[in-house]
Amino acid sequence: MSQYPELKGKVAVITGAGRQAGLGEAMAKRLAAEGCKVVITDIGKSVSEHTPDSAIGHSDEMNQIVAEIKQAGGEASAFVCNVLNEKDVQDTVDFAVQTYGSLDIWVNNAGIGYLMKSILDMQVDEWDAVLGVNLRGAFLGVKYAAAQMVKQGKGGKIINIGSQASKSAFGHASAYTTSKHGMNGLTRVAAIELGSHKINVNEICPNHVTTGLGAWQNAHFSEVTGKGHEQYMQDMRERIPLGRPGLQEDIAKACAFLCSEQASYITGECMNVSGGEEYH
């Protein structure tokens, strides 16, 4: 049952949504359940040495997610988009408009969260890869989605997916933390510039969510910290006031809320969804 009936018929694009059990999939399915017409995008295949197979939303996965949305009574399509490619982003906007008639919601979810290294160990090409996808990709999404929304003249919602690293610094995550801090600035500037067009721009800042990527991060930081997996996870639970890491559904709920009319007077916010762990 829809919680936000005003979302029925809205057209939403979610980038980086082609991996099953990922945040993008959860947001796509929640918006579809609210009645949105959803366009799921991902890069479809490896495009560089910095996109390992395990981090890619392949075309068959994208199509499976679309099929599951349709089986549940929703409406969805898949479209291949590399957010580093300006033409791909514009083509995605055009696809949404040509397929469904408009563009009302854009969610910048695509990101690199697996090149976690210290400043001393980070290579320049790795740094560029992280900032490229996480920040340039979000910038292009904001730019082209907003241009379409301004053209339509009826406002819209842009949601950037940040991180706890948008607020607090983490060792061994130099490029990632920098990119997510930068997303705060992008979100706030876009909110200022686009407010007169009735476009709300907000950011969701999750703490750790054990997606497929999250499981890799658990293993990686368990090794880096020397704690072992069980101790690392126990320490995580103990520092979160609500006693557990985040779930994909927690982020999907926040996304649906920010896309709804209930959040019509909220813009420029970098909203923590962290069980109380992050309070900046």
Q: Which helix (DSSP H) or strand (DSSP E) does residue 147 occupy?
A: helix 137-152
Respond yes or no: is residue 265 known to be catalytic: no
Which residue's entry shows tokens 């705060």?
184
User: Rounded to whole angstroms, what are the CA distances from 26 to 22, 101, 229?
Assistant: 6, 24, 26
* 3-class DSSP state of 39: strand
User: DSSP assignment of 83-132, as one string?
Assistant: TT-HHHHHHHHHHHHHHHS---EEEE-----S----TTT--HHHHHHHHI
User: Rounded to whole angstroms, what are the CA distances from 90 to 45, 81, 86, 96, 103?
Assistant: 19, 9, 6, 10, 12
Distance of CA 161 to the CA centre of its chain: 4
Catalytic residue (one of 10, 37, 157, 180): 180
182 within 8 A of 121, measured Cβ to Cβ? no
210 within 8 A of 218, measured Cβ to Cβ? yes
Interacting residues of 139 by C-beta distance below 8 A, sequence separation 6+: 186
| Number of helices and strands in the chain (H, E) | 9, 7
Catalytic residue (one of 4, 100, 144, 176): 176
Interacting residues of 120 by C-beta distance below 8 A, sequence separation 6+: none
Residue 80 zone, left/alpha/beta (φ > 0; ψ -120 to 50; rest): beta
- What are the catalytic residues? 176, 180
